[in-house]
Structure 1
Amino acid sequence: MLEQMVTRSPIGIAIVDTDLRCVWSNPALEQFGSGPAQRRLGLRFAEIQPGLDAEAIEAQMRHVLETGERVVGYEHVGRVRSAPHRETAHTMSFTRIDDDRGHPMGVYYTVVDITERHRARQRLALLDRAGEYIGRSLDIRRTAQELADVAVPALADYITVDLLESVLRGAEPTTRVTLLRAGQQSVNEGVPEAVVEVGEVAAYRPGSPPLRCLAEGVPLREERLDPLAAEWATDIPGGRQATFLELGLHSVLVVPIRARGATLGVATFFRRRRQEPFDEDDLNLAEDLVSRAAVCVDNAWRYTREREAALVLQRSLLPHRLSEQDAVEVTACYRPADELTGLGGDWYDLIPLSGARVALVVGEVPGHGIRAAAAMGRLRTAVRTLAALDLPPEEVLGHLDDLVARTAREEGVGPEPEDTDSARGSGCVYVVYDPVDGQCTMAAAGHPAPAVIMPDGTVAFVDLPQGPSLGVGGPPFESVELALAEGSTLALHTDGLLARGKEGAADTGRNRLREALERSASSLDLRCRAVVDALAPARPHDDVALLMARTRLLGPDQVADWDVPVDPARVAEARKTASRQLTEWGLEEFAFTTELVVSELVTNAIRHAVGPVRLRLIRERSLICEVFDSGDTAPHLRHPRTTDEGGRGLLLVSQFARRWGTRFVPEGKIIWAEQSLADPPD
């Protein structure tokens, strides 16, 4: 009965003597490819199964012989004689056999094939590793490379991950199929199998398996590749042509990368070193692996698309470039706190004004992200609109305050607008600089005062009265006026530059800013970036904006002004005086138009205004004509009928000048007209 049990047992059983040579085995052991039992007799384990780790197995046998302790469930992986190209796994148990006096006679061991269980564990381990390793960032290319890194060498010897070009850009998939190599990996260092590099176009022949999988969304398995096929590729820019035989590739899996019903690309798995071809279990594993990666690629794609949309919004709200003018040399630096979207509520602007003047603006909206960016965009648009009216800084902030408060009331925004896109509680500093006399006027609404870097390098902060934040109510805004020497630098900044992390002392922040501004730099742009790098961490807790403007003065040869007697007969003399000045400047081609503008503006001032009249010409990037009078009534453009005798003066000015307008000053008003020097009149 015992003989029948061991002989007919489906479990492989063998006995070795104290020299570890086989003395008996049952027929079931033959299923492991070791041949008939007679051929095993007298052989050591290494001679019976050279593809297995014989030393480790015999070490277990010796341990059992020496100690008498049983070893149960010892697992080993290797290649048996009957399947040299396929890795198998077995579990073995060892028991010592003693004679009737207790002396060891040998070892009795059993063998059970657990290859399927071992492969199942490997698949689960690979999927667990994929879940942990793939998708650690929202970068599409990095995610694709992580898929390649995980699959090699656990599943394949070489893998390529190709994604649609539109997906890599974060755009919607299009009918145009252009695949880019997003990731690849190989068991061989340097990926010698690669025909194209990461980032290059992966061009496949029409009807090739990758394009079929991409179009149909169905995976494909080829156990044996055509050795002379050229990896299905064609017209590879800068790539090399190589057959599968030259690359050593013999089996392939092509799996579409699909998520939420959309195909984003294809992953291609090759075997080179391992001789066994891919089977159905490998294909199922590859599909599971790719499906997990596809979700991460889809998330990264959607994030890229949304972030690109957000950045387009941000770029549309911030100035693409600061306007060119001669009043100041200017540069700016912006660093958002929201590192994912790159959006924030801080903004800066430079607005050209009449009379060669400029307005410098820096502001801050509470909060971060797209809501703050939307509120910032509305606020910046309002500032530019108010600046076009040539209002003093305190009046600009006053109108802006009313606008923010009214908008908040209409939208029903409470005192804490954190979850809305309201601009209530925003801060802003508005500065107007005149390059003719170097005068600078500024006002602030809940915003840090600018710093001034003197020509000698010393730094001082403007003693600027602080008005309330926009939209919260409070006393009226006040402005200060100061004269700036040529070569002085204004540094307008948000409060994110004053405190790093949670440090809050204003004096400490100012001292740090002063030290950073005092450090020399070869250019204004480098100094601006150096200040932000020194004071703001790579991931600031608050948005940071810094606008630096180095002042210039227009030379005496660029400005000319004259007193004009309040007498209609003196208009002709004003025209001649302006014409002579244009001749001195070499602008004779503008004489006719300028005489017409001077004639109309001076005539209107003498006819309708009171007090002294002054005429001023400014030659900058444009030719500016200004007429000052002490009146407080603004002229209006009329459209006279053909029978009217008058009312055509400002209409003619508007036709010949690029732009014109009126600005009020404490002593009266200035009517101005501007002609482009880049476009001489016909």
Structure 2
Amino acid sequence: MDLQHQAAVQIGSSLDVVRTAQELADVLVPELGDLTAVDISDAVLVGDEPLNVIEGMPSHLVRVAISSGAKQWPPGLLEPGQSLSQPFGTVHIHQLQLGQALSLDREDMLKVLSSPLTSGRLIPVGAHSMTIAPLLARGRMLGTVSVWRTEQPDPFDTAERALLTEIASRAALGVDNARRYTREHRAAAALQERLLPRAETDTAGLETVGIYHPAVGGAGISGDWFDAIPLPSLRVALVIGDVFGHGLSATATMGRLRTAIQTFADLELDPAEVLTHVEGLVQRLASETPTEQRDVVGATCLYAVYDPITGKCTMASAGQPPPVVVGPDGTARDIEVSPGPPLGVGGVPFESTTVALDAGSVVTLYTDGLFELEGFDAVHGINQLRNRLAVLTGADRSLAAIGRDLIGDLTDRPPSDDVALLLARTRIISEENTASWQFPAEPASVADARESVTRQLERWGLDELALSTELVVSELVTNAIRYAGGPVGLRLIRENVLICEVADPSNTQPRLLRAAPTDEGGRGLFIVAKCTSRWGSRYGRRGKTIWTEQPLDGLPDEMVPLFDLA
């Protein structure tokens, strides 16, 4: 009974299959035998379902745990990590299938293992008696536990076999719980990997590298994520977030939030508005959740938009720690973002903060799991992060190298919480590649706008785009003057595409309509759509901006506009 009590206390404290097996091995020596080993089905180690007990014993086992007390494990005997094929015959297997331990003396062991090479790896030198018990749980055969006596003189009796059977049965539940956790952990990790974007992006405005490391241990994978979303006019949205809770439910929630933020990003809303909309989504998710679980529905998130034309970054935070920026001169500082509550709390508005960033600055967004790594702590974590980034960041260092050095080697010390990291190096579009004008709300401004655009395209050597761009500018400026009033802003941006922007003080949503043959109007945006590869609009604090894009090498023939639209 003392050994049973000891086994109940010591076995099953972990959700790791190997550790649980080692706890079982340790508790049996020397109380029950001199040497013990635990062999587990290879399917169990990766979280898969093992054989049903009526299907027999696993054909391949892996030794995962051994114990020899204070003595050295006998040389040549199978060691942890090594595999073996099922050595027992039909009679022995049937007894194990019934959940009963069986005992063998040395002569019986040698008969079972007829090959001298096999017997030398599976039978300890000097072993005169052996008992083996199945690890059965929920009708599944997980493996076996073997105990040998080399120094204790008496063979195993019926009571000792029954004791081993009882202990193995309890231990098997711990092993199976660990297996089921491994399966869920693997599924969550795979889902998390599929839901995250590609790690590296490179656009005219930003170069980004994202790094994600899942948690290891009892807490399990949570819902940390990062994102870099290209927006019109060369702008880029940066996102970092952390969903409350762990496991598949947290990963699924992360996927829903990431999709929602991408949708709101496409609407080109202010960062504070984006978080406000996501807050509404989280509230709906909470209302769909059982009442006892609603307090774990939520997330922290930081959403930022960087504009490489102005070099400004606008961001809003929902419970996320502040980003750290390292300037091109190597100076590191925190970005003071107006703090907001985590998503799901409600009742407090989010606020946007705008900062100017020099070209070549490295902005680091991160989740709080970073502070649980070696070299950081919860109290001084931000200061430590800032100091380390100041040392690691340099103009000639890649973002991937900075991220690897920042997180360090996690092989021997896997994180207990998810870690998500997003590093971005800023770029600023040269003034030579932009041109802007402002016109009054007068009919003559349409011709002035066309003429200004034609001259600028000639300077850039883009004469072949003059006709289509004149049409776009003419239609957009005419609509602005007619329906919105002035002043009307016009801007051209030359980068990997030609971008044309027309800004006006109206908040009216432009809509593409198909005019009937007898209609005298309604074809303006249709012409714009035919002359460009894509177009859209975004809203500011006052008014809106309609933008278009054209490839620098001209539109494909099938996209060239038909000018006879009457």
The alignment's TM-score, normalised by the length of structure 1, stands at 0.60
Contact in 1 for aligned 2:238/2:305 (Cα 8 Å): yes
- Residue 396 of structure 1 corresponds to 274
Q: How does 1:560-571 map to 2 (within 5 A)?
A: 561=435, 566-567=446-447
Task: Give the C-alpha shift of residue 484 in structure 1.
Answer: 1.4
Mapped to 1, the partners of 2:278 and 2:50 lie a distance apart of: 43
- Residue 140 of structure 1 corresponds to 17
Task: Give the C-alpha shift of residue 389 in structure 1.
Answer: 0.7
Q: Decide which of 358, 361, 364 is 1:485's aligned counterpart.
A: 358
Q: What SS is found at the alignment partner of 1:227?
A: helix
Q: How does 1:522-533 map to 2 (within 5 A)?
A: 523=397, 524-525=399-400, 527=402
- Residue 327 of structure 2 corresponds to 454
Contact in 1 for aligned 2:51/2:140 (Cα 8 Å): no
- Residue 44 of structure 2 corresponds to 167
Root mean square deviation of aligned Cα? 5.2
Q: 1:484 to 1:644 in 2, by over 3 A?
A: same
Task: Give the C-alpha shift of residue 487 in structure 1.
Answer: 1.6
- Residue 383 of structure 1 corresponds to 261
Task: Give the C-alpha shift of residue 386 in structure 1.
Answer: 1.0
Task: Give the C-alpha shift of residue 572 in structure 1.
Answer: 13
Contact in 1 for aligned 2:389/2:406 (Cα 8 Å): yes
Are positions 1:551 and 2:551 aligned together? Answer: no
- Residue 502 of structure 2 corresponds to 628
Q: Decide which of 299, 306, 317 is 1:433's aligned counterpart.
A: 306
Are positions 1:199 and 2:81 aligned together? Answer: yes
Contact in 2 for aligned 1:431/1:443 (Cα 8 Å): yes
Q: 1:474 to 1:307 in 2, by over 3 A?
A: closer
Mapped to 2, the partners of 1:595 and 1:228 lie a distance apart of: 92
Contact in 2 for aligned 1:597/1:673 (Cα 8 Å): no
Task: Give the C-alpha shift of residue 310 in structure 1.
Answer: 4.7
- Render the CA deviation track for 1:470-518: whole Å, top value 9, x for unaligned: 5666676543433311122223456787998785xxxx77655544443
Give the residue type in structure 2 aligned to 1:141: V
Q: Which runs of 5+ in 1 are unaligned?
A: 1-123, 234-239, 584-590
Task: Give the C-alpha shift of residue 202 in structure 1.
Answer: 2.4
Give the residue type in structure 1 aligned to 2:18: R
Are positions 1:519 and 2:391 aligned together? Answer: yes
Task: Give the C-alpha shift of residue 551 in structure 1.
Answer: 1.4
Task: Give the C-alpha shift of residue 283 in structure 1.
Answer: 2.9
Give the residue type in structure 1 aligned to 2:136: R
Q: How does 1:417-432 map to 2 (within 5 A)?
A: 419-423=294-298, 428-432=301-305
Contact in 1 for aligned 2:135/2:172 (Cα 8 Å): yes
Mapped to 1, the partners of 2:290 and 2:258 lie a distance apart of: 20
Task: Give the C-alpha shift of residue 321 in structure 1.
Answer: 2.9
Query: Alignment identity in percent?
Result: 37
Contact in 1 for aligned 2:207/2:425 (Cα 8 Å): yes
Task: Give the C-alpha shift of residue 456 in structure 1.
Answer: 1.6
Q: What SS is found at the alignment partner of 1:432?
A: strand
- Render the CA deviation track for 1:398-448: whole Å, top value 9, x for unaligned: 43445556766x56999xx9853443xx65432211223422223345555
Are positions 1:669 and 2:545 aligned together? Answer: yes
- Residue 288 of structure 1 corresponds to 166
Q: Which has the larger radius of gyration?
A: 1
Task: Give the C-alpha shift of residue 139 in structure 1.
Answer: 1.5
Contact in 2 for aligned 1:575/1:599 (Cα 8 Å): no
Q: What SS is found at the alignment partner of 1:202?
A: strand
Q: How does 1:643-658 map to 2 (within 5 A)?
A: none
Q: Decide which of 260, 268, 284 is 2:138's aligned counterpart.
A: 260
Q: 1:322 to 1:596 in 2, by over 3 A?
A: farther
Are positions 1:181 and 2:62 aligned together? Answer: yes
Q: 1:281 to 1:514 in 2, by over 3 A?
A: closer
Give the residue type in structure 2 aligned to 1:173: P
- Residue 479 of structure 2 corresponds to 608
Q: What SS is found at the alignment partner of 1:163?
A: strand
Q: What SS is found at the alignment partner of 1:452?
A: strand
Q: What SS is found at the alignment partner of 1:460?
A: strand
Q: What SS is found at the alignment partner of 1:258?
A: strand
Give the residue type in structure 1 aligned to 2:446: V
Contact in 1 for aligned 2:40/2:143 (Cα 8 Å): yes
- Residue 52 of structure 1 corresponds to none
Mapped to 1, the partners of 2:91 and 2:230 lie a distance apart of: 60
Mapped to 2, the partners of 1:245 and 1:165 lie a distance apart of: 18
- Residue 28 of structure 1 corresponds to none
Q: Which runs of 5+ in 2 are unaligned?
A: 440-444, 482-486, 559-566
Contact in 2 for aligned 1:208/1:232 (Cα 8 Å): no
The alignment's TM-score, normalised by the length of structure 2, stands at 0.71
Q: 1:427 to 1:164 in 2, by over 3 A?
A: closer
